[in-house]
A = this chain, B = another copy of it.
Amino acid sequence: MDARTLDPPHQLDIAALAERREPGLSLEAPFYTSDEIYEADIAGIFSKHWIFVASEGEIPDAGDYVTINLGTYSVIVVRDDDEEVRALHNVCRHRGARILTDAQGSVGNLVCGYHHWAYATDGRLRHAPTHGKDFDMTCFGLKHVAVQVVSGLIFICLADEPPEDLARVADIVSPYIAPHELGKTKVAAQVDLVEEGNWKLVMENNRECYHCDGHPELACSLFPTFGYGSSDIPPHLQPAHDRYLLAQTELEARCDELGLPYVAVEDLTSRDSGFRIQREALDGAGESFSETGESVSNVLLGDFEHRRLGRLSLHLQPNAWFHFLSDHAVTFAVLPLSSGRTLVRTTWLVHEDAEEGVDYDPEALTKVWRETNAQDAAFVARAQLGATSPAYEPGPYMPSEYQVEAFCTWYIARMQEHLSS
């Protein structure tokens, strides 16, 4: 563990820091605290890779939009007049004003509020008042951002040449997700939580259940044994693990019957859109995230007729995770705000026919993950505070934290690619 005793490189040599990263240990402090590495993360990760930002259920109709901040970029994700999902830079081509200032809404044209330049929902400039005679409207359309929709999940990529890998991952994960028919869902609730920690600590925290004793609400329905092998289950979780094995056997039989894929597929490090997907049983009633494990929305997704379909969980590099259940789906997008602050946007999707107050109670629907997110925010803040101390040194990941290690491995490799490009 030589890295612990090395001095930080002079003038923050990110490449050297990445090069000397020791597998099995948490990253060196600057990866969590340095403004310079934050900028490199925005440039090398969030501007080069496919980033999950929203779901189709958030923009069901033509003209519906959400605005997404990635670093200092602002991007409009809008359903255009032909019902296609578009992503456009939220920067007027006149004098650069931000066009849309709301987080979401619905428009006919995209009209800049400053001097009323008006753009179509596909980005073409439609109207620029009192322009001169040599003015060429076709030169001043909004700049496009690459967009890709995977089974209703919307990804954007700020790079001119986006990685091709997401399409191949889509081929693998779509058979798992498609039956949940996200295109026929609507937003039941969305919560933006600002966590006081680097985005990588937010991701690392999500990738292990070693801390799940701190999630009493979640542990009612999600087996807190995630990440453990059968041989290293902590004694106090042995009963839960035993229940899990039984429930999982039952779930897999049901899935076989219904033709739902469930087998874990995991490729977290080698590909650009590193991922892990698996359908696993839930505890209690086994239906959904709740105190009893019972459903929290009465209208099932897709054409499901059975409630006990467990949780289809997808972990995706670099910034997202998802749970798809029989009665709702929850998406999590991690969006960095600064070296020490991160936005976690959680969205609960229910069937578009489910009626609030009748078929679902937003409080009950969101309770488990609101509580869990708040607990995680406290953990992340602790980790961030710790990393700011000069006494911090990288520490060892436990066996059940192998996905944290995988995230760091993915990250370091992509950062090295970026720095050498």
Contact = CB atoms under 8 A, between A and B. Distances in A.
Contacts of A131: 398
Chain A residues touching B, majority SS = loop
B74 A130 contact: no
Contacts of A211: 114-115
Contacts of A395: 92-96, 140
A165 interface: no
Chain A interface residue number, banded: 35 or more
Q: Which of A114, A128, A383, A394 has the most CB of B within 10 A?
A: A114
A389 B228 CA distance: 43
Contacts of A92: 386, 395
Contacts of A389: 72-74, 89-91, 96, 98
A378 B114 CA distance: 9
A391 interface: yes
Q: Which of A99, A130, A135 has the most CB of B within 10 A?
A: A130
A157 to B, nearest CB: 14
Given A390-B73, A391-B91, A97 B129 contact: no
Contacts of A388: 72
A176 to B, nearest CB: 30
Contacts of A98: 382-383, 385-386, 389
13 contacts: A47-B390, A73-B391, A89-B389, A96-B389, A96-B392, A96-B394, A98-B382, A98-B389, A113-B379, A114-B214, A129-B234, A130-B398, A132-B399
Interface of A: 26, 29, 47, 71-74, 89-99, 101, 112-116, 128-132, 135, 140, 143, 204, 210-211, 213-214, 228, 232, 234, 378-379, 382-383, 385-400
Given A74-B389, A135-B396, 14 more contacts: A26-B96, A74-B385, A93-B393, A96-B394, A97-B386, A98-B385, A98-B386, A98-B389, A101-B385, A113-B214, A114-B382, A116-B213, A130-B400, A131-B398
